[in-house]
Amino acid sequence: MSRSGIVLLAIVSTIAGIVLVYVVDVPLPVVVSLGFGALCLLWLIVLLTVPWNLYFQAHALIHEIRVSRERGVEVSPEREAEALRIAVRMRRAAVAAHLLSAALLATVTYFSGETVGYYFAVFYLIATFFRPAGAWFSHLRNRMTTMLEEVRYPREDVVTLVERVTALEGRAEESEARATELAERLDALTSETRAGFHAATARADDLDRRLDAMGRKFEDSLSRLTDNQEVLSGIKAFLRLIRSETG
């Protein structure tokens, strides 16, 4: 219950008590007894909710940790140990709160002389077993519902995700290996292309040198074979033209 709810309940109870005493003429001891009974019921609600909720939540956490481990999910043992410690402490606190409340209520009833308090004390003791029994049946119902859902619709949990991630990692490694192989092939092809280009350039340069040598040799031969300067000049010009076009 929130703080505003408690304040509202206190205001309503006070107004109701004033109305009962001064308007309806109900005796004050009766009003006090009614208020004390309402306070006892409110405290019982607190006892049945706060510590027991923490206790069963810790047990639910322990159950989920064990289920996760069964499915191959790594969970730190420290978390399970901490949840177990919280569950033990909350169980002891809940039971102790019931016992102390019953003892305190019985003591107050003994000194006040009213017998109705003993009924509340006994009810406090019996209520110690109410919440565990209800939670147990609720756990059984939830467990059966979960098992039925798992049978009808297989759960895609962390195990399935791990398998998918593993498959994706394998594909990524395969793609990386292929990319490395293609890069190596590209480097080899580039080296071969460069070597071929250099070889072709060297052959072209050698061919140019041979043509130049042949031209000079031909000119020398013509100079020795004829004295006709015009013919010789024309042939030389023709040879120069051929060399210039070849270069």
- Enumerate long-range contacts of 63-71, CB under 8 Å, 24 or more apart: 68/158, 71/157, 71/158, 71/159
Q: What is the structure's pLDDT at 26?
A: 57
- Whether pLDDT at 14 is above 70: no
Model confidence over 174-223: pLDDT tens digits? 888 888 888 888 888 888 888 888 888 888 777 777 777 777 776 676 66
Higher-pLDDT residue of 12, 83: 83
Query: Using an 8 Å Cβ cutoff, are 26 and 54 in contact?
Result: no
* CA–CA dist 42, 36 (Å, integer): 10
Q: What is the structure's pLDDT at 172?
A: 86
Least confident range from 18-27, 40-49, 85-94, 210-219: namely 18-27
Q: What is the structure's pLDDT at 37?
A: 66
* CA–CA dist 113, 12 (Å, integer): 28
Coil, strand or helix at 222: helix
Model confidence over 132-185: pLDDT tens digits? 787 778 777 877 887 776 665 555 555 676 678 888 888 888 888 888 888 888
Q: What is the structure's pLDDT at 30?
A: 59
Coil, strand or helix at 23: coil
- pTM equals 0.47
Mean pLDDT of 90-113: 84
Q: What is the structure's pLDDT at 18?
A: 58
- Whether pLDDT at 120 is above 70: yes
Q: Domain locations in the chain?
A: 3-155, 170-246
* CA–CA dist 243, 217 (Å, integer): 13
Q: What is the structure's pLDDT at 189?
A: 85
Q: Per-residue DSSP letters for 17-44? A: HHHHHHTS---HHHHHHHHHHHHHHHHH
- Whether pLDDT at 55 is above 60: yes
The single-letter DSSP state of residue 71 is: T
- Whether pLDDT at 86 is above 80: yes
